[in-house]
Copies of this chain bind each other. A is one copy, B any other.
Amino acid sequence: MRIVNVAAAQMGPIQKAETRQAVVARMLALMDEAKGRDADLIVYPELALTTFFPRWFMTDQAEVDAWFERDMPNAATRPLFERAARHGMAMSFGYAELTSDGHHFNTAILTDKRARIIGKYRKVHLPGHAEFDPKRSFQHLEKRYFEPGDLGFPVWRALGGVLGMCICNDRRWPETYRVMGLQGVEMVVLGYNTPSVNSQKKDEGAQKRLFHNRLSVQAGAYQNSTFVVAVAKAGSEDGHPMIGGSLIVDPEGEIVAQAKTEDDELLVHACDLDDTAFGKKTIFDFARHRRIEHYGLITSQTGAIAPD
C-alpha cells in the first residue's frame, strides 16, 4: 500500500474585486479542513488566487500584469506555504506567472510536505483566442495573455509515487496524459475554470460541459492507469457561471469522489498508488502493446489534413 490521502479543494467563485488576501484566507480554511481529515496533499484550482481574468478584454499591459505573480511565494501567498509546512501537507495550486524576463504563463506548482516547490508546470494547451471576438457571447482570451507552456509534461517523484500536473483544457487532450503515462505517472493533479456555457454554442448547457469534463478525466485515468484529481473553480464570477464537478478518478477510470456544490468544498480520498500497477502491467503495458511505428502523425503534423 502506498496511500496518498488527497484533498481536492474546489473553490467557489472569486469576484473581480476580491483581493488575493481574501482568497488566501479561504484557501487556508480549506487547508485546515484537509488537515483535520489527514490529507497528505491538497490540490487547488487553476488560477486559484484571482477571478478567471481571461474573460476580460484588456489592452493595457499594466492592467493585465496586475493579475500575475512575479514571485512564488510572495507576500500574498506566503501564509499558504507557512500553513502547509506546519501541517506537513504537500500542495498544488495554479496562478498566473510573470517571469523576471517578461514571459507570461498559466502555471501550477507542486510542493513537498515542507512547502518547498518541487515541481512547476506551465499550461501547454491554451484554449480560446488572442483578439476580441465580437461573435462570442463572452471572451476567452488565454491565447492573448499567456504563452504556451515551455516545460512539457514533466513528472516528479513525490509522496512515495510519481506525480504529474496539467491545467484545465490540457485534460481534454489525450497527449497530455500519455506523455505523463510514458513516464509512469501514478497521480495527475489539475485545476480548471470552465464556463458553464459554450461561448460559441449557446444551446450547449452545463450538463454537457460537466459530461465532457468527466469523460476526459476518466479516459485519461483509465488509459494510463493513473489517479486523476481534477479541481474546479466554480460558480458565478461577476455573472459568468462556471461548472463545478470536481472529481477524483481511480486508475480504472471510476469516479471515487465528486463535488456536490459550486462553492468551496473539500473532497478527500485515500488513493493507493499500488492500484495503478495492475493496469500498467496488463492491458496498458505500453512496452508490450504500443506500436509507435504507426503513431507518426501525432508528432509530425499539428493540424488535421483530410485526404483528397
Contacts and interface: CB of A to CB of B under 8 A. Distances in A.
A175 B306 contact: no
A300 interface: yes
B278 A302 contact: no
A183 B307 contact: yes
Contact of A298 (B182, B284, B308): B182
A301 interface: yes
Interface stretch (A45-53, A85-93, A154-162, A240-248): A154-162
Contacts of A73: none
B292 A299 contact: yes
A301 B179 CA distance: 10
A282 interface: yes
B303 A290 contact: yes
Interface in A243-299: 252-254, 278, 280, 282-292, 294-299
Interface string A215-228: 11011001100000
Contact of A302 (B125, B282, B292, B299): B292
Contact of A124 (B294, B297, B307): B294
Contacts of A292: 298-302
A127 B283 contact: yes
A56 interface: no
A299 B296 contact: yes
A62 interface: no
A103 interface: no
A235 interface: no
A43 to B, nearest CB: 20
B222 A212 contact: yes
B306 A184 contact: yes
B222 A291 contact: no
B298 A179 contact: yes
A173 B290 CA distance: 9
Those 7 A-B pairs whose CB atoms lie nearest each other, nearest first: A287-B303, A184-B306, A219-B219, A174-B174, A182-B297, A299-B299, A152-B294
Interface of A: 124-127, 148-149, 152-153, 155-157, 162, 169, 172-175, 178-179, 181-184, 200-201, 208, 211-212, 215-216, 218-219, 222-223, 252-254, 278, 280, 282-292, 294-308
